Amino acid sequence: MINVLFVCLGNICRSPMAEAIFKEKVKGASLENTIAVDSAGTGDWHIGNSPHEGTLAILKKHRIDHEGITARQVQKQDMEEYHYIIGMDAENIGNLSRMKGLRPSGEIARLLDFIEDGKEDDVPDPYFTGNFDYVYELVNEGCEHLLMHIREKEGL
């Protein structure tokens, strides 16, 4: 099983959105028995909470299942268990890089790094901007390119 973890700050906006979107893409590619998807936050403020209402609304709007997604914090064992750890912005990558010395087993990258000539480097945090539609566009495109990257790299 190939394990993919999406990471943002609190795990209620961007990373659960990415988790749900990526699961949908994995299912659409009939790879749900090959690729497992989860999300987590670098902070601990929202552990156990459902995704932000803005994230839930945008997922519902696009008919993307979000069942069972709850916030959790990145753990040390995640560095060993996940093959792809995908941060939403440079701050998350910095936080993950500090944990990286704990023997990472896979690739750590920003989601939008998978888009050549993308319009953004970081996925902005809609918790502060309120722009869930724009974040959805970025995350959706990033997930599409990430899946292409994984399929190529893993020979799927």
DSSP per position, the chain:
-EEEEEEESSSSSHHHHHHHHHHHHHHHTT-TTTEEEEEEESS-TTTTPPPPHHHHHHHHHTT---TT----B--TTHHHH-SEEEESSHHHHHHHHHHHTT---SEEEEGGGGSTT-S-SS---HHHH--HHHHHHHHHHHHHHHHHHHHHHHT-
The residues near 116 (Cβ < 8 Å, ≥ 6 apart) are: none
**Residues 11/41, Cβ–Cβ less than 8 Å:** yes
If one counts the domains in the chain, the total is 1
Catalytic residue among 14, 78, 89, 110: 14
Catalytic residue among 8, 38, 89, 110: 8
Residue 105 CA, distance from chain mean position:
17
**63 is known as an active-site residue:** no
**8 is known as an active-site residue:** yes
Q: What is the CATH number of the domain that holds 121?
A: 3.40.50.2300
**143 is known as an active-site residue:** no
pLDDT at residue 154, rounded to an integer: 93
With vertex at residue 107, the alpha carbon angle to CA 103 and CA 108, rounded to the nearest 5 degrees, is 90
> pLDDT by residue for the chain (156 residues), tens digit each?
999 999 999 999 999 999 999 999 999 999 999 999 999 999 999 999 999 999 999 999 999 999 999 999 999 888 889 999 999 999 999 888 887 665 556 789 999 999 988 889 999 999 988 999 999 999 999 999 999 999 999 999
Q: Range of 56's domain?
A: 2-154
Catalytic residue among 72, 78, 125, 143: 125
